[in-house]
Amino acid sequence: MTQIISIANQKGGVGKTTSTINLGVALAHLQRRVLLIDLDPQGALSVGLGVKPGEPEYTVYEVLMNGAVTINQAIIPVQANLDLLPADNDLAAAEVELIPEFRREMVLRNALVPLNDWYDYILIDCPPSLSLLTVNAFTASTGVIVPMQCEFFSFRVIRTLMESVDRTRDRLNPGLELIGILPTMYSTGTIHSREVFEQARNLYGDKVFDIVIYKSIRFAEASVANKAMIDYSTDHKGALAYQQLAQTLAEKLEQRG
Ligand code: ATP
Ligand code: MG
C-alpha cells in the first residue's frame, strides 16, 4: 500500500517544503519508491529540485483540471527512486476553478488512482493555507505530518489545523491519521525552543516526534544549490535528523502491512 503523506501547516515558512524534499530524498536513499507532489502555487518544491517555472509541459494543474492529462504524463524523474509532480503559478487558478467541480475535495485523490500502488511513498507539499488544495491533499492522504516552528504562536495554528484534519476524517477520509508533529527551526542556544517543545509534548503527547530539526543556515544554502540537505551536506545534523525521520516512518508505517 502506498503511504500518502500531506506535509501541512497553514502558517508560512515553517519548513514544509524543506521537510518534503529532505524526507523524500531520505526515503529514496532507503530504496523506497517516492513521488513528491508540489501542491503549492509558489512552486518552491519544484524550483528546489531544479525545475524551471514554465518548463514542464504538464504540471499538477493540468492533472487536476484537465481530464485529458493523466498523472503519468506530468511526472518528472528527479533522481534514483525519486519523482516529482511539479507545480507553478498556474495552480493558483485551480483554487477557484475547483469550487464548482463535482466532488471538488476528491479531485487529487481520483488523479492518483492510475498510480496503482507503484510508489511506496507519496509526499504532498501543501500550500500555507487551509484551502481547497489542502483539503484535496488531506482527502487523498493516509497521513499528515505537521512541521511546527519552535515558537509560541505555533500552537493556535496547529489547533485549527487539527480541526481541519478531524473534519476531513469525519466527512471524507475515515482512514486519515495525524502521523506526527515535527519541531523545526529548533535553536539550541535558546530556552525558548526547549519550552515550546515541552509545551507541544504536554499538549500533543507522543504525537510530537522525538526528532527535532535544528535551525541552520545550511538549509538555505542547500536550497540555493537546488539540493536536499541530505545530498548537500551528508553529515550535517539536519541531514541526519531527516534520515532518522525516514527510518522512524518506515518502521512505524510499513509494519502494519
Ligand atoms: P511556505 O509556507 O512559504 O511554503 P514552508 O513552510 O514550505 O514555506 P520552507 O520553504 O521549507 O517553509 O522554509 C522556509 C525558509 O526557511 C527557507 O528559506 C528554508 O531554507 C529555511 N529553513 C527551512 N528549514 C530550516 C531550518 N531547519 N533551519 C534554518 N532554516 C530553515
Ligand atoms: Mg513551501
CA of 47 to the centre of ligand 2 (A): 11
Strands 143-149 and 3-7: parallel
**Which residues in the chain come in under a pLDDT of 50?**
none
Q: What is the pTM of this model?
A: 0.97
Return the pLDDT at 171: 96
Return the pLDDT at 12: 96
Output the ligand 1 site: residues, CB below 6 A: 12-18, 40, 42, 44, 128, 184-185, 213, 215-216, 219-220, 223, 238
Pocket test for ligand 1, best of 6, 10, 17 (most atoms within 8 A of CB): 17
Atom of ligand 1 nearest to the CA of 19: 11
- Name which residue sits closest to atom 20 of ligand 1, judged by CA: 220
For 79, phi then psi, to 5°, come to -155, 180
Atom of ligand 1 nearest to the CA of 11: 2
Mean pLDDT of the chain: 95
Return the pLDDT at 113: 97
Atom of ligand 1 nearest to the CA of 185: 27
| Diameter over CA atoms, the chain | 54
- Name which residue sits closest to atom 2 of ligand 1, judged by CA: 12
Return the pLDDT at 189: 79
